[in-house]
Chain A
Amino acid sequence: MAAIRNRIRELRALREITQQELADRVGVTRQTVIAIEQDKYSPSLETAFKVALVLGVPLEECFQYDPRGKR
């Protein structure tokens, strides 16, 4: 299990935002959004804040840190 987990897919679905729309608004590629959603890539702090901002939630509601998870 990854150290940094997220609820992006769920929050995105609630707001009816596509992966491409989120990617465009955050300034990353759609492939990066897919990798983040699948917990395969941990974004930089700046990108994490941008994702939370676009989804309209605090950072900790979007991303969670699990100290037992692997980096």
Chain B
Amino acid sequence: MAISLSYREKTLYASLAAELIVYGPYFFLHQQNSLNKVAGMIFSIIVLQIVVQMAIAIFTRNRITDERDHLIELQGYRAGYFAVTTMMVIGLGALWIHAALGQIHLDSRMMGLHFLSVFFGALVISDITKTVTQLVAYRRAL
């Protein structure tokens, strides 16, 4: 049976692909991360999202969104919010444990970088959680 995708679903699949392509290296090449690379990733995801969303908008005739789309979007944001708060607590807790065990040194210079790393990781995971939650809701009808 052919799967019919709405405009919102197409944009969500494109968003997920863009997120995995751009953010993937952040987790798998963690040792090589730097502030410049994080800034580059943020810039890349913005550009990629604009290009892909424009392409989908051009090639999709019916771009209507309705109440169900808004409800699913809210579900996604709720899941994303829980993910970001959970990841922040876990990330900061892990930082504290590593510092207490003496595995990392939290001086004033490094603390900002560690916090930024945890914050960016939490944002990335919450973004992906938000998108996946919405796609699952669409496939389950809600």
Seen from chain A, the residues whose Cβ lies within 8 Å of a Cβ on chain B are: 27-32, 34-35, 38, 40-41, 43-44, 47
Q: Which residue of A lies closest to B142 (CB)?
A: A41
> Can you report 25 A-B residue pairs in the complex whose CB atoms are below 8 A from each other?
A27-B64, A27-B66, A28-B66, A28-B67, A29-B7, A29-B8, A29-B65, A29-B66, A29-B68, A29-B69, A31-B4, A31-B5, A31-B6, A31-B68, A31-B138, A32-B67, A35-B68, A35-B142, A40-B140, A40-B141, A41-B68, A43-B67, A43-B68, A44-B67, A47-B66
In whole angstroms, how far apart are the Cα atoms of A30 and B8 in the complex?
A: 12
Does more than half of chain A's interface fall in helix, strand or loop, or is it mixed?
Answer: loop
- Name the B residues within 8 Å of A34 (CB-CB): 4, 141
In whole angstroms, how far apart are the Cα atoms of A38 and B69 in the complex?
A: 17
